[in-house]
Structure 1
Amino acid sequence: MHRPRRTFRTTHPRTARVRRAVVVGVVACTGVAASWFGAGGSTAEPSGDFYTPPAQFDATPGAIIKSAAMPVLLAPPTAAVRWPVPAQRVMYTSRLQNDAPVAVSGTFIDATRPWQGSGARPTIVIAPGTVGQGTQCAPSLAFSTGIYADLSRLSVSANQEAISAVAWNLLGARVFVTDYIGLGTPGVHTYANRLEEAHAVLDAARAAENLSGSGPQTPLVLWGYSQGGGATAAAAELQPVYAPELNLKGTWSGAPPSDLAAVVRQIDGNLIGAAIGFAINGFLARYPELQQDLDKVINPAGRALLATVKTECVADIIAKQPFTRTSDLTIDHRPLIDHLQELPDAVKVIHDQLIGTLTPSSPVLMTSGINDDTIPYGQVRQLAVDWCDKGATVTFRTNNLPPIAPGTTFANHFGPELIDGFGTNNAISYLVDRLNGKPLQGCTFD
């Protein structure tokens, strides 16, 4: 089943347009991001109480609870880009893991130019990478200007999805970027919870259809890297059961954290080690029985860290708690994952988060850096193998970027994101091929 990867080559004019649009999007967004970071740009809260759900709302998954116009400064004005890009801040209905309805926020960017592929105009749902756990970390808060600052908390959050959003917008696709459950809207963000992330992604697709009036036959692709890769992987395998009406054509799952225990061991002590606290806080919100066991093993420093990171963004933990080691947070100074794997309630939680127990019914591109210092390569490849053994159509591509400053996340984790999304492992071209109806069967490994 694991045949050598097939290489598709074409000189079709449409392919050239796709490549030009990707390049323009990357260059434009990189310029905007640089200008904002260079200027130390920040914004005041632009949305009032938008993120507070009404007491009662439509419980139908994907229902639109409210929306508001929002200009997006994704790229400088050019002949190809309407500027500022018109968008909407959206609140829509999704589901918790116990199937209770919940309000989720996000960003919808409707198409402003003709679709550059073949067939009907598609919807692209983007699942963001790790942004944090505080409500102020919601990607939609940073989307208008590229960066959001909450001076009262000394907290900063950047729009990490600007490049992918503008690239797809330039291709003429509709784009919806979910904030996930508990970011922006009330409650704890359930970081790394596979069911709730999958629900938020699939219901974002439904919300986009409701906003555009395009209907469930709309071609759909899912795009995500890191936390987003885990969310799109979980959504792809859950879609046949949770949202079978969606016309899912393909998924990019870049560096998905499919095996939580392996990921926790990998990031423990690296630059974003404190992100382990995001996951623990999210699990405590859904599995309160875990609290009693956790209290037996963590020390006061551990309790303080969990309380602190619950209100912080990823840039904040890098600045304030870099290279956190969980052995400093436990009573006996053993790594926290060692304890979790000995506690029955914790073992259940970790098992519940495993991606790969279901099977996607549409093609998936999986990418991973061989030297990724944040999301272990081995567990990503294993997910691809597991899906292939179940009969899924998976293309697995390895990023061979050499190790650069291991443990600092930036080069060896974020570097492959740019390369795999827009470079040699071009995820956009792979997904456009799926939207254009190019056949793909079986599994290929590179």
Structure 2
Amino acid sequence: MAAICGVTLGLLLTTTATAEPLYPRPDPDPFYAAPADLAAYQPGDVLGVRALPPLAIFPGSTVTLVKFRSTNSRGAPIAATTTVLTPFGHRPGGPLLSYQHFINGLGTECAVSHKLYSDDLNLMVTVPSLNVVLAQGWSVALPDHLGPQFALGAARLGGQIVLDGVRAVKRLPALNVQRSPAVIAGYSGGGLATAWAAALQPMYAPELKLAGAAIGGAPMNLETMAEALGLGPHPSFGIAMAAAIGLEREYPDRLPISSYLNPRGLAVADAMVNSCSNDILAAGTGGSAGEYVTSTSIFDSRDARSVVAENSLELYAGVPETPIFEWHSPDDQEIPVDAIEHTIRRWCAAGVRVQTRQVPTVEYLPTVERLPGVEHLSAAALGAPEALLWLEARVRGEPAPTNC
């Protein structure tokens, strides 16, 4: 979710018209459907378990799909899913990592649990790192953290799904992680879901103890991003428009944006509504919010701003209890770096043990002080090795370092 919500406010207009949100097609697999008695379950309760075929990209690991009860942004129950990789020879109590992949998608086929069985190159970025921890005996959970409606942009929702996914995995005796130290990690949109999970845990899941959270390239303030990108064309406009569609799905009463798209905007939205990253970017090529709406009276909608603010972690008063490792490129042009730094300073002031890194630095490239212009996705790979070492130290119970 590299350019999440970039021009979202440009599509959230002040008017009283209504229309149905652009929801995705339901997943044709009935396993993903919520049970009729969903409200009878508590957050994190297991709703279903399915053994999946082995994956060549994770040799030797068994694959289990877990459906569990979570909560949406309005406090209502939802069914969510996470895919658990259990390494060969797994020992009970081995560490558990919940890894939140970045998912720039609006369709149910974009779920990580589906994409694992495709040739999606975006997933391949993280496969080497995950194989490192699997080889060390860790279990890995890969949640579908956008939720059943694929509400791209609804970052707080993602944090709740992450926490409930860890709860569910720990409640399944067959997975042998009930007493395992648990850590969470992710980059970009996955980093944002991870950050929200860390910040929400003291309130949302106080019984769930996390040994640490590694957060990379997370867009901590969606409001700032929206204001910076505005109404004009932008290379990542497709993702920004997709985030606006996703937020409408999660907040249909407060963000009825579908009513205010002109015919060109509706055509683009229809092309995106069940699409994943590459098709979304292609559909939005050369577009802008100003061209696709019937009004440009942006930034006046209190409802629009309040929803974007609710999903901006920089503005959330709560702080994590778990130690944090955070990394980003200081030259990242896709996310507001100032928002990351402000959030980290606030967490440090509250006593959170934070270790933050700008990449690349002398630790990575001893022959240079810093390379300029490191873009968003390159920073993911540059920071991953130290993030893994940091996570390994946390599950060993070593005191967390800090450079606050």
Please give the TM-score of this superposition, normalised by the length of structure 1. 0.74
User: SS of 2:321's equivalent?
Assistant: coil
Residue 239 of structure 1 corresponds to which residue in structure 2? 201
What is the deviation of 1:168?
2.1
The 2-side partners of 1:384 and 1:323 are apart by 35
The 1-side partners of 2:37 and 2:66 are apart by 16
What is the deviation of 1:326?
2.3
What is the deviation of 1:345?
1.0
Aligned length: 363
Q: Show the 5 A alignment for 1:19-58.
A: 48-57=29-38
Q: Which amino acid aligns with 1:377?
A: V
What is the deviation of 1:266?
5.7
Identity in percent: 25
1:383 pairs, out of 329, 338, 343, with 343
User: SS of 1:385's equivalent?
Assistant: helix
Q: Which amino acid aligns with 1:198?
A: G
Residue 349 of structure 1 corresponds to which residue in structure 2? 307
User: SS of 2:172's equivalent?
Assistant: helix
What is the deviation of 1:283?
2.2
> Are 1:437 and 2:400 matched, yes or no?
no
Change (3 A) 1:399 1:265: farther
Residue 276 of structure 2 corresponds to which residue in structure 1? 313
> Are 1:138 and 2:100 matched, yes or no?
no
- Tell me the alpha carbon deviations over residues 67-108 of structure 1, each in whole angstroms, 9 at most, x when there is no partner: 2222343438xxxx52xx320122221111222211112211
Change (3 A) 1:292 1:236: closer
Higher relative contact order (CA closer than 8 Å, sequence separation 6+):
2
Q: Show the 5 A alignment for 1:44-443.
A: 48-57=29-38, 59-75=41-57, 81-82=59-60, 85-113=61-89, 120-147=93-120, 161-182=126-147, 185=148, 188-212=149-173, 214=176, 217-265=179-227, 269-291=233-255, 295=259, 298-331=261-294, 339-355=297-313, 356-400=316-360, 402=371, 412-422=375-385, 426-440=386-400, 443=402
Residue 16 of structure 1 corresponds to which residue in structure 2? none
The 2-side partners of 1:172 and 1:200 are apart by 24
User: SS of 2:246's equivalent?
Assistant: helix
Whether the 8 Å CA contact 1:272–1:317 is kept in 2: the answer is no
Whether the 8 Å CA contact 1:70–1:144 is kept in 2: the answer is no
Whether the 8 Å CA contact 2:223–2:312 is kept in 1: the answer is no
User: SS of 1:348's equivalent?
Assistant: helix
Whether the 8 Å CA contact 2:103–2:110 is kept in 1: the answer is no
Change (3 A) 1:293 1:181: closer
Whether the 8 Å CA contact 1:421–1:427 is kept in 2: the answer is yes
The 2-side partners of 1:430 and 1:291 are apart by 40
- Tell me the alpha carbon deviations over residues 5-43 of structure 1, each in whole angstroms, 9 at most, x when there is no partner: xxxxxxxxxxxxxxxxxxxxxxxxxxxxxxxxxxxxxxx
Please give the TM-score of this superposition, normalised by the length of structure 2. 0.81
Change (3 A) 1:267 1:141: farther
The 1-side partners of 2:371 and 2:276 are apart by 28
- Tell me the alpha carbon deviations over residues 308-334 of structure 1, each in whole angstroms, 9 at most, x when there is no partner: 3221101112333335332322446x6
Change (3 A) 1:291 1:131: closer
The 1-side partners of 2:283 and 2:257 are apart by 27
Q: Which amino acid aligns with 1:362?
A: T
The root-mean-square deviation of aligned C-alpha atoms, in Å, is 2.8
Which runs of 5 or more residues in structure 2 are unaligned?
A: 1-26, 361-369
Change (3 A) 1:164 1:362: same
The 2-side partners of 1:128 and 1:373 are apart by 20
What is the deviation of 1:201?
0.2
The 1-side partners of 2:371 and 2:103 are apart by 23
The 2-side partners of 1:340 and 1:130 are apart by 27
Whether the 8 Å CA contact 1:216–1:245 is kept in 2: the answer is no
Whether the 8 Å CA contact 1:381–1:396 is kept in 2: the answer is no
277-286 vs 121-130, which moves further: 277-286
The 1-side partners of 2:185 and 2:209 are apart by 15
Which runs of 5 or more residues in structure 1 are unaligned?
A: 1-45, 148-155, 405-410
